[in-house]
Amino acid sequence: MKFEWKQGALLAVAGILVIGGVALTASQSQDEGTKLPEIVAETSFEPKFVAVGDGSSPANIKVAMRYVTADNLVGEPLDGYRDNLCLLAPAAARALEKVAGRLAQDGLGLELFDCYRPQQAVNHFVRWAAAPEDHSTKADFYPREEKSQMFERGYIAERSGHSRGATVDLTLYRMDSGEALDMGTGFDFMDERSATEYPLEDAAARANRLRLREAMSAEGFVNYTQEWWHYTFKPEPYPESYFNVPVARASVKDGVPVPSTLRTGAEQPEQYLPLLRDQNVGLVVNQTSRVGESHLIDFLRERQVGLQKIFALEHGVRGDVENGGKVDDGIDGPSGLPIVSLYGGNYSPSAENLADLDWLVFDIQDVGVRFYTYISSLHYLMQACADHDVPLMVLDRPNPNGDYVDGPLLEEKFQSFVGMHPIPLVHGMTVGELAQMINGEGWLEGNAQCALTVIPVGDYRKSMAYSLPVRPSPNLPNDLSIRLYPSLGLFEGTTVSVGRGTEFPFQALGHPADSAGRFSFTPQPVPGASENPKHKGTPLTGDDLRNVRLDTRFTLQPLLSWSRRTGESPEAFFSRASFFDKLAGTDRLRKAIMAGTSAEEIRSSWQTDLATFREQRQPYLLYPEH
């Protein structure tokens, strides 16, 4: 148990639920039906969790969190699951390790499907259960049950014991083969046959269930009798508490808590609602535009803000359009608001699009990398707002790569939609700070000035490890992929796959001709994420990067190594040389790699530019470094 987590989280006291220093009131009555929590107050309650199966735990504990994947009852990753990580209260974790130690003597191990579950994931279950039209997982998970009866039958509830940090879902496996023991049904199988003592015809499967129960009971775990996989350690360390911090490596970074008082711009309505009252408002939003559990669209509509239309960027309003995929005009189903596409050649709203607006509000999570195109869209929006006298409001959000500045600065002749500003590849600025810099440095056409209002993030520092509650785009599924993105994004201009078309995009590197790697994978089409991935259907060999430290920074080593590993000529390796140069913002990086220049020499070539940039950006910064 190498990591320790101390986090402001969620405490239930007299009907008040406290999340991340913010209290949530769960209101429900028989008349009103189910309502999800609302943000109402603050607290400083800090529980303590640890990570299980992180390398220092017994070797026969396998962590295979189902809710970070689509292989589960809901059919998609649940909100709040960012990494394949098991978090538990220390006492529960120690007891589980003792169970594993006993089982190892018999050649058995534990495979963990779920541990601590954040309240936001429970709320995701509730939303899924309330959408009766979606039955895509019925055959695999509830073939004999009706979705409309999930609440009544006790399969889904507004609160889960998992959110208290002492409950685990698991099974047994054979250490010699890695094969799971037959338990008669699968995990999350919503059926009476999943009850631990159900009279299965298969005597071996029933014996396996009882064997698991015996091993768990010996160390203080109590089985939920309706689910053979479900156990809770007793006495529970936090019996009255329900936590809501994401399942993420950033949550357990060397035992240093992420301050619970952080509030994104959108989470400070007292600062922006007075400005939007009685105004006609347009929104630039996507799936990351959240206020607690609510989408910003719904949050503003509930408060009678006069929303007129939504502008959609790359990946669409709900984040279900693949990289480079077409984003169409249309109607947002949940709100009924018209959607105006600003991706696919039409990057700037027209005068007609803006004519009826008093405000345009931008609330998009960025990842702090120059070639991540949301900041290019921001530039076009600022230009249009300046040209047509519409004020722009930016609801700022933390930068998950905001703790450093690195990489080459963009040269003017390589300006494109994947790089519009003379800033480093990793610029260390939030969207709000960058918007101020675009204005202040006169980067808009004709030195135009956008009437800009930034709602800053509350209690944020650039050195802070920030775990995104919602994936910012389909192929950046977790915190590690976001930290690796600056280094791996450049591979998009080469013949090497970055894992698109797998469950671990931007967490692996592979090539058909590689013989040095020990990892293999085969890219396949993934609807909504990667319809036609590089090397589709071809077995690749390479590197599994899923165990890289979460504090990793931009590095040239993978690029330099792989430029020699594929056996291709330099010209063939850089299969999209022009695109690579646009990503890098220069052709000097590609030419240096082709010439065999060392990483140290390459990095030294941009240090003077970085020093100048750090000084240049200083007037526009909103947040301290530490």
For 478-528, how does the pLDDT look when each residue is reduced to its tens digit (9 = 90+)? 999 999 999 999 999 999 999 999 999 999 999 999 999 999 999 999 988
Q: Per CATH, the architecture of 265-465 is what?
A: 3-Layer(aba) Sandwich (3.40)
- The class (CATH top level) of 49-252 is alpha beta
Instruction: Return the beta strands (E) in 321-366 as ranges.
Output: 330-331, 338-341, 359-363
The predicted pLDDT at position 136 comes to: 82
Q: What are phi and psi of 406, to 5 degrees?
A: -165, 165
Provide CB contacts within 8 A for 432, sequence distance 6+. Answer: 265, 394, 396, 454, 455, 456, 457, 622
The predicted pLDDT at position 26 comes to: 32
The predicted pLDDT at position 253 comes to: 54
Sheet containing 508-511: give its strands across: 508-511, 540-544, 519-521
The predicted pLDDT at position 248 comes to: 86
Q: What does DSSP assign to residue 30?
A: T
Tell whether the torsion through CA atoms of 505, 511, 515 and 516 is positive or negative.
negative
Cα–Cα distance measured from residue 289 to residue 281, given in angstroms and rounded to the nearest whole number? 15
Contact 350, 272 (CB under 8 A): no
Instruction: Return the beta strands (E) in 315-468 as ranges.
Output: 330-331, 338-341, 359-363, 392-395, 406-409, 424-426, 452-455
The reply to whether 42 belongs to the active site is no
Task: Provide the residue count of the chain.
Answer: 626
Helix (H) or strand (E) holding 232: strand 230-233
Q: Which amino acid is at 90?
A: P
Tell whether the torsion through CA atoms of 611, 613, 614 and 618 is positive or negative.
positive
User: Tokens for 167?
Assistant: 């409950």
Tell me the pLDDT tens digit for each residue of 221-255: 999 999 999 999 999 999 888 888 889 877 775 54
339 DSSP β-pair partners: 310, 330
13 DSSP β-pair partners: 16
Domain with CATH 3.30.1380.10 in the chain: 49-252
The predicted pLDDT at position 126 comes to: 85
Helix (H) or strand (E) holding 144: none
Contact 239, 164 (CB under 8 A): yes
The one catalytic residue in 227, 267, 293, 322 is 227
The pairing of beta strand 280-285 with beta strand 359-363: parallel
Q: Is 7 exposed, middle or buried (0-12, 13-18, 19+ CB in 10 A)?
A: buried
Contact 510, 520 (CB under 8 A): yes
Contact 553, 540 (CB under 8 A): no
First-to-final CA distance of the chain: 28
Contact 78, 124 (CB under 8 A): yes
Contact 284, 362 (CB under 8 A): yes
The predicted pLDDT at position 488 comes to: 98
The low-confidence residues of the chain, meaning pLDDT below 50, are 1-45, 255-259, 322
Domain with CATH 3.40.50.12170 in the chain: 265-465
Average pLDDT of every residue of the chain: 87
Residue 529 to residues 319, 476, 500, 589, Cα–Cα distance (Å): 9, 10, 8, 29
- Tokens 């077409």 locate to 326
Cα–Cα distance measured from residue 103 to residue 99, given in angstroms and rounded to the nearest whole number? 6
Contact 524, 501 (CB under 8 A): yes
557-565 vs 479-488: helix crossing angle, rounded to 10: 60
The predicted pLDDT at position 150 comes to: 75
Helix (H, G, I), strand (E, B) or coil at 331: strand
Q: In terms of Cα–Cα distance, which of 403, 369, 405, 407 is closest to 605?
A: 407
Contact 471, 477 (CB under 8 A): yes
- For residue 235, cis peptide bond before it (omega within 30 degrees of 0): yes
